[in-house]
Chain A
Amino acid sequence: MEKEIFTSELSSIAKRYNIRVWIAEKMGRRWSYVVGAGKELFLPSRMIAKIGKYAIFVEGENFDREMIAASVRKLFEPRDFQGN
């Protein structure tokens, strides 16, 4: 994962939906933080999707799971870093 790219993309997603969003990696029975963004709201976290060994966690009020999951999933798609 290219952390810098993820951080900036997750920041815009967090702003757009007014949430905190992060990606964690499954380690045995537990989850380990990888990268995330957004203001802390102290709400319970919800796992909204799994992508291989990773999962997307969100904290927020009345958020649209599907939309956010779709936006984050896109980050996992292979892309061309030449700017095209």
Chain B
Amino acid sequence: MKTADLSWVNNVIKEEQYKKYMNGDKDFINDEEIWEKIEREKNPDPRKIREIVKKSFEIQTLTPDETAALLNVKDPELWEEIYAAAAEVKKKVYDNRIVTFAPLYCSNYCVNNCLYCGFRRDNKEEVRRRLTLDEVKDETKALAGKIGHKRLIVVYGEHPLSDANYIADTIRAIYSVKVKTKNGYGDIRRVNVNAAPMSVEDLAMLKEVGIGTYQVFQETYHHDTYKQVHPFGTLKSNYQWRAYAMHRAFEANVDDVAIGALFGLYDWRFEVMGLLYHARELERQFGVGPHTVSFPRLTPAKNAPYIQKTQYKVSDEDFKKLIAVIRLSIPYTGMIITAREPARIRREVLPMCTQTDASTKIGIGAYSEINGSDGQDLAKQQFFIGDDRELDDVVRELAEMGYITSFCTAGYRCGRTGKNIMELLKTGKEGNFCKLNAILTFREWLDDFASEETKKVGEALIKKEMREVKSRTPKVFSPQVVGELENYYERIKNGERDLYF
């Protein structure tokens, strides 16, 4: 590593910013305790499982014992009940909408050497790129103007070239783009960030420029495995600096934080427990849990041989189970199923999830084909993707399945964020906003971007959604709400954009 990079690395971690949350040398994950709970809850009584499920219906976070019991269910019929309940809970909190987004990879320089990742610094075959701000704008134009995305998750490796200043600049660049579309204009209204753990000061800077959700995955909550896959001496080898990243984000007043684990590094049941402990820790300290939880499965990456070695690869069956248990354990949280997974798996687990990506490209500059059409070269990216379908195809399929694709970012237009949205989620009220805003943003997207075939399916779905809103009047929605919805709907059809509840 260059001397300048080394001196940057040495100044990133601020021990005082995480040690104050620890209990001596203990963080909020106790490996032995987690295993004890999983062992103790072996063979749970089905009546107990049904009681636990009832608690999830009340949108209450489960206790570790309760989650451990769910993880130990063996009976396939009981699992079917659990899947159905998980889908019901999702519907209760978020209605039948699925939010879509796209990842935007800005830089693949990285000082770390994670054994499972294509960006690891020892992967000399990786072509390193960092987008210029003009290139970031070009990517945004393609995403917002051609595909029709409204929210992004912007991804950066950990490197002085992609430090907090660069991240802030890219967020500004993305928000500055406004592109003419068929019937209106396209822009990115919410920039979520997936980046390395940062200091409170750096996070405060990102807050100033309008960061959306701040996402850091712990990768694995198991301390020994963490040590093994993040080589000693690398920045990422500090478990606690990463584990307390969200504490610092809340200290910096970032509204929404997202956690996740990379499934396949260690036993999936342990990781689910880790996510639950993390969520409970955030609730305890800040009164707000994770806005979303991600659960990517380890997929092959070029020159990252760990996948061949791991004994913890997660089967499709277990993958569905872990999603259901997370859904029931942290019932209010958003859950993201990404294009890492093939279409058939996405279809299967979608009823329990809230967000998905489409038209996904994870090469640097791949949307605007900065490097020609090989920007999506699978050998030059962080991992291999499993579903490369276009947004139009995914939207149509979702509509056929009865799900409305939502491009809603209303919370960020009027400050319905953080504690406020958490309360609405926990009381099952946010789903009502979801329903109204899904209709409006879906209309926008159909008019600006949909193929004729998708438009036809989408229009039928909108009619059904409108009928449903009316059927909830006056119990849930007042006649005035319906009036406002119809008024906004007509205005959007006439070319107005960004109207919301």
Contact = CB atoms under 8 A, between A and B. Distances in A.
A31 B414 CA distance: 6
Interface string A16-34: 0000001111011111111
Contact of B417 (A32, A41, A42, A43): A32
A31 B412 contact: yes
A43 to B, nearest CB: 6
Contacts of A41: 478, 481
Indicate the member of B413, B419, B478 with the most A CB atoms within 10 Å.
Answer: B413
Interface in B421-445: 421, 424, 429, 432-433, 436
A26 to B, nearest CB: 9
Interface stretch (B124-132, B207-215, B235-243): B207-215
Interface residues of B, number: 38
Contacts of B416: 33, 45
B418 A32 contact: yes
Contacts of B315: none
A24 B415 CA distance: 5
Contacts of A25: 415
Nearest to A28: B210
A43 B415 contact: no
Interface string B442-486: 000000000000000000000000000000000011101100100
A43 B478 CA distance: 9
A28 B477 CA distance: 32
B22 to A, nearest CB: 27
A28 B171 contact: yes
A42 B481 contact: yes
A33 B436 contact: no
B43 interface: no
Contact of A36 (B171, B190, B420): B420
A27 B207 contact: yes
Contacts of A47: 414
Interface in A1-56: 22-25, 27-34, 36, 40-45, 47, 55
Given A27-B207, A30-B413, A31-B412, A43 B418 contact: no
Given A27-B208, A28-B171, A34 B415 contact: yes
Contacts of A31: 412-415, 417
B371 interface: no
Nearest to A27: B210
Contact of B208 (A28, A40, A55): A28
Contact of A33 (B190, B417, B478, B501): B417
A42 B420 contact: no
Given A32-B417, A32-B418, A61-B480, A40 B424 contact: yes
A4 to B, nearest CB: 14
A32 B175 contact: no
B494 interface: no
Contact of B172 (A22, A28, A44): A28
A45 B410 CA distance: 10
A55 B429 CA distance: 23
A45 B414 contact: yes
Contacts of B266: none
Given A31-B413, A42-B433, 16 more contacts: A24-B414, A25-B415, A27-B208, A28-B209, A29-B189, A31-B412, A32-B253, A32-B417, A33-B416, A34-B415, A36-B420, A40-B424, A42-B436, A42-B501, A45-B416, A47-B414
16 contacts: A24-B417, A28-B171, A28-B209, A30-B212, A31-B417, A33-B417, A33-B418, A33-B419, A40-B424, A42-B432, A43-B478, A44-B500, A45-B414, A45-B416, A47-B414, A57-B414
